[in-house]
Chains A and B, each alone.
Chain A
Amino acid sequence: MTATLAAAGWRPRKPSVIPGFGLTLGFTLAYLSLIVLIPLAGIVWRSAALGWPRFWAIATDERTLQALKVSFGTALVAALVNVFFGTIVAWVLVRYRFPGRRIIDAMVDLPFALPTAVAGIALTAIYAPNGWIGSLLTPLGVKIAFTPVGIVIALIFIGLPFVVRTVEPLIEEIDAEVEEAAATLGAKRLQTISRVLLPALAPAILTGFALAFARGVGEYGSVIFIAGNIPYVSEIAPLLIVIRLEEFDYAAATAIAAIMLALSFAMLLVINLIQAWSRRRFGHGA
């Protein structure tokens, strides 16, 4: 390793116009290790101590599989919904000037700041069969709170700012001239959106999707109030982990955690690879 680096002309002390590389890299690594890597390694290590047969038994347990399915499934649906509406919200906030724009702009960040439990309770109160919206839907036979649909709604709430805030800067960057160029070339509005604007926004939308999805998979506080937490139906993986912990079954808890970790990492990696590819292809910013 050192040999190849040296051969490539790499020296640790290369004079640079941006000094402090060694110091900041050292800090970054130490910090990441303390905060992220060591705890995560702990999870892997603890679950490895289980031994393969037991780990497999926990991983393939019907309740675990269902919980993972609920977690990843609802996070996926919520992220997709957020991609659609979040992009529209970002578009409106960037492109139009209207009274109250600033207030709406600030409101987008509320899910960041609000304790998630508060959000969960509030959503439950509204969507419960006797809540504002819930009471309107119950006669139609639609049940939201205490079903996976409720989880999706909570995750949409939690994930919205991620999409809006990642897509916004790119919309700001799109030159109005590009749209005008498309129009002079005869493109109808819908064609301009689908062929010119969306492809240009795709990388940011993908990032927003990844963030909202990752947040959704790990979300706990807001979901447990609205989900109803019925095993095999609306029980999310993070809750199952907590349940195992309360049963002092630490090994099972870490095993589920390790599976979630692996799945999330794999999905984020794929998304990052897609982005690296698009950056190479379309150049800066894309």
Chain B
Amino acid sequence: MDLSIRRVRKEFDHFPALHDVSLDISSGELIALLGPSGSGKTTLLRLIAGLESPTAGAIFFGEEDASHKSVQERHVGFVFQHYALFRHMTVAENVGFGLKVRPSALRPPKAEIRRRAAELLDLVQLSGLEKRYPHQLSGGQRQRVALARALAIEPLVLLLDEPFGALDAQVRRELRRWLREIHEATGHTTVFVTHDQEEALELADRVVVMSQGRIEQVGTADEVYDEPNSPFVYGFIGDSSALPVRVENGQLWTQDRMLGLSLPGAPDGEAVLYFRPHDVELVDGCGGCIAGTVAASRRVAGTRRVELEIGGERARVEIEVPLDHRASEKSRIAFKPRRWKVFYRDGVKAAPKSPHAQAHEGRILALTGA
């Protein structure tokens, strides 16, 4: 089922939670709504489900405007962060609930409901637990029951609100892989909300990055990671370092030094340089590079992260160095980012730029809105 969200706006007591959000989701896609808390991602999900109604705008299920349909009529499968299982019902009764409450003309016979429940419990790998009550299950098992219950009504779309948020890291990884398998097996159009970027990037076909009630960027994991279109996305997805700079005659400057990064044709102004800590090249001696004093260094898994103080204003950036690098305190390290991007202070324009090898041309992107 295609989903189309058209200029949806949602206000709670005149406080806008979503500003004119538009998004198209095609049938069978697995979409992640990713953002910090308060970004409006859960509100958007609840609007799709019909648990909230939009202040303005419309939500289309296929060709049909679903905006004024009730939750019951929308036929969505919704999975809650805290499972929301019916605790006085057995696992099988929970799964069969959606079929049991159908009007009698559409309600399958009891045996059929039982068969469907057993089938779905098999799909979520919980066969044999039909007679258990929710309190007798672990968190991961409960969430599987919740998913089976949502799938039982053969939903048009499957919506998951931070489905793994209440689970511990290992169970979460396991369920993530397993959700992907279920998605491939059933082919439901699926939208899930998460604040965990790893989860979003690993699981979703496309990631919708949200902030402060707006969609910042929509794209595949590669697109949002490699081509962030705003300082927010750069900062939110993956690790990033930011350094305040000045653009002057197509060159980047800190207060007193030229960085050796050029942006031909870019207008002058105050800006911020963004790069990935791991995507840097250490250089010896420095005429046209970024150099700083080591302020702190820590071991992160297979690499070493070093915090550098740059220049007189002592701006701090983080870079990754090889483990055997002698990054002792107060020593000086010079580096050049391989891939980087510049966003102007006023937020109007961004100028992405390439590695020094000119692999990317120095085109200037105009950011809309913001």
- Residues of A with Cβ closer than 8 Å to B? 175, 177-178, 180-188, 191, 195-196, 199-200, 202, 281-284, 286
Contact = CB atoms under 8 A, between A and B. Distances in A.
Interface of B: 49, 51, 70-72, 74-78, 80, 82, 84-89, 97-98, 101-102, 133-136, 146, 149-150, 152-153
B88 A187 contact: no
B131 to A, nearest CB: 11
B13 to A, nearest CB: 13
B4 to A, nearest CB: 20
Contact of B72 (A175, A178, A186): A186
B51 A185 contact: no
B133 A282 contact: yes
B97 A182 contact: yes
A156 B20 CA distance: 54
A138 to B, nearest CB: 46
Nearest to A175: B84
A177 B84 contact: yes
B62 to A, nearest CB: 19
A195 B80 CA distance: 19
Contacts of A187: 72, 97-98, 101
Given A180-B78, A282-B133, A283-B133, A185 B153 contact: yes
Contacts of A175: 82, 84
Given A177-B82, A286-B88, A184 B101 contact: no
Contact of A184 (B49, B82, B135): B49
B101 A200 contact: no
Contact of B78 (A184, A195, A196, A202): A184
7 contacts: A175-B82, A180-B84, A181-B80, A183-B71, A184-B150, A199-B86, A200-B87
A177 B80 contact: yes
Contacts of B80: 177, 180-181
A286 B152 CA distance: 26
B157 to A, nearest CB: 11
Given A175-B82, A283-B133, A184 B51 contact: yes
A178 B75 CA distance: 17
Nearest to B72: A186
A281 B87 CA distance: 10
Contact of B153 (A180, A186, A199, A286): A186
A185 B87 contact: no
A284 B88 CA distance: 11
Contacts of A281: 88, 133
Contact of B136 (A185, A191, A200, A283): A283
A180 B76 CA distance: 12
A283 B135 contact: yes
A286 B88 CA distance: 8
A199 B94 CA distance: 13
A177 B76 CA distance: 15
B88 A185 contact: no
B77 A188 contact: no
A281 B146 CA distance: 20
Contacts of A282: 87-88, 133, 135
Q: Which 10 A-B pairs have the closest CB atoms?
A: A283-B135, A185-B98, A177-B84, A184-B78, A181-B84, A187-B101, A183-B71, A199-B88, A177-B80, A191-B101
B76 A184 contact: yes
A282 B135 CA distance: 7
B142 to A, nearest CB: 12
B184 to A, nearest CB: 23
A83 B90 CA distance: 26
A183 B191 CA distance: 19
A195 B86 CA distance: 9
A186 B98 contact: yes
Contacts of A185: 97-98, 101, 149-150, 152-153
Contacts of A177: 80, 82, 84
Contact of A286 (B74, B75, B84, B87): B87
Given A185-B149, A188-B72, A180 B98 contact: no
A195 B101 contact: yes
A196 B88 CA distance: 8
Contact of A180 (B71, B77, B146, B149): B71
B101 A178 contact: no
A202 to B, nearest CB: 8
Contacts of B89: 199
A183 B146 CA distance: 14
Given A181-B84, A184-B78, A283-B136, 15 more contacts: A177-B82, A177-B84, A178-B84, A181-B86, A182-B97, A183-B70, A185-B150, A188-B72, A191-B101, A196-B86, A199-B88, A282-B87, A282-B88, A282-B135, A286-B88
Nearest to A178: B84
A191 B74 CA distance: 17
Question: Max chain B CB contacts within 10 Å: which of A180, A181, A182?
Answer: A181
A283 B134 CA distance: 9
Contacts of B98: 185-187
A200 B88 contact: yes
